[in-house]
Amino acid sequence: MRREQESYRERRYVEEPRNRYEEEHHRERELRSRFVQASYARDLYNRVQCMYQQSKSVEDYHMDMEVALIRANVLESNETTMAHFLHELNIDILDIVKLYHYASLNDLVHHGIKVEAQ
């Protein structure tokens, strides 16, 4: 009997946080669907797709893009994000950064900052 109680306590201790996380995640999705308008999500997604560097620095453009992706809740591969970031840079920076080798978005941002400083 005592062993069964200990086993029950151990299971409850392990399962409780998982259930709490699932409940909170479900509650968050429910609240988001109830209170966040579909047009807001659509506007955020369009903002991500239409984002350009313009007069911003490469670092500011990168930060704005990261914030927009997080707000829009967009999950895309690293390659897609890198391609999107690269092709929306100003043309004078883009032409030079394309010549560098890059394996991650951080490499791409680093090369962009270096070219911008020249």
Radius of gyration of the chain (CA): 22
pLDDT tens by residue, the chain, 118 residues: 556 656 656 655 555 666 777 788 788 778 777 776 778 878 888 888 888 888 899 999 999 999 988 888 888 888 988 998 998 999 999 999 999 898 999 999 999 999 999 8
What's residue 61's pLDDT?
92
Positive or negative, the CA dihedral 101, 103, 105, 106 is negative
Contact present, 68 and 51 (Cβ < 8 Å): yes
Q: How many helices (H) and strands (E) would you count in the chain?
A: 6, 0
pTM confidence score: 0.64
What's residue 58's pLDDT?
92
